[in-house]
Amino acid sequence: MIAIPGNVRVWLATGHTDMRRGFLSLARLVQEGLKRDPHAGDLYVFRGRRGDLIKVIWHDGQGACLFTKRLERGRFVWPSLADGAVTISVAQLSYLLSGIDWRMPQATWRPQASG
């Protein structure tokens, strides 16, 4: 697991993105579409059309990082806005990457009965 600093801002690029894109092409989307600096240390998360694949780009100060995750079952919960970006916390990103509804994690997580 790669440690992400707690003070990093996480942006979900709403809508869907062509998952054939690499870091440079996604960074251009951040710069031109979201009007943000992709090298400033924030994380930018993109979801594919089917909803089971996301890509995250992050410039950690030393270099460009590109992370990919595909769910074996289900889809990533995504904002319904057609254009723009939504900011979430690093904790919410952790839920998202686990396939949990990051908007209401307590509603989807149930402790197992001990015994």
pTM for the predicted model, two decimal places: 0.84
Cα-to-chain-centroid distance, residue 70? 12
31-66 per-position pLDDT tens digit: 999 999 999 999 999 999 999 999 999 998 899 999
pLDDT confidence bin for 101, thresholds 50/70/90: confident
Per-domain boundaries in the chain: 10-104
pLDDT value at 111 more than 60? no
Q: Residue 29: count other Cβ atoms within 10 Å of its Cβ.
A: 17
In 3D, which of 58, 55, 53, 19 has the Cα closest to residue 37? 58
pLDDT value at 113 more than 60? no
DSSP the chain: -----TT--EEEE-S---TT--HHHHHHHHHHHS---TTSS-EEEEE-SSSSEEEEEEE-SSSEEEEEEE-SSS-------SSSEEEE-HHHHHHHHTTS-TTSHHHH--PPPP-
Least confident of 25-39, 68-82, 93-107: 93-107
Can you tell me the distance from the alpha carbon of 7 to that of 5, in angstroms, rounded to the nearest whole number? Answer: 6
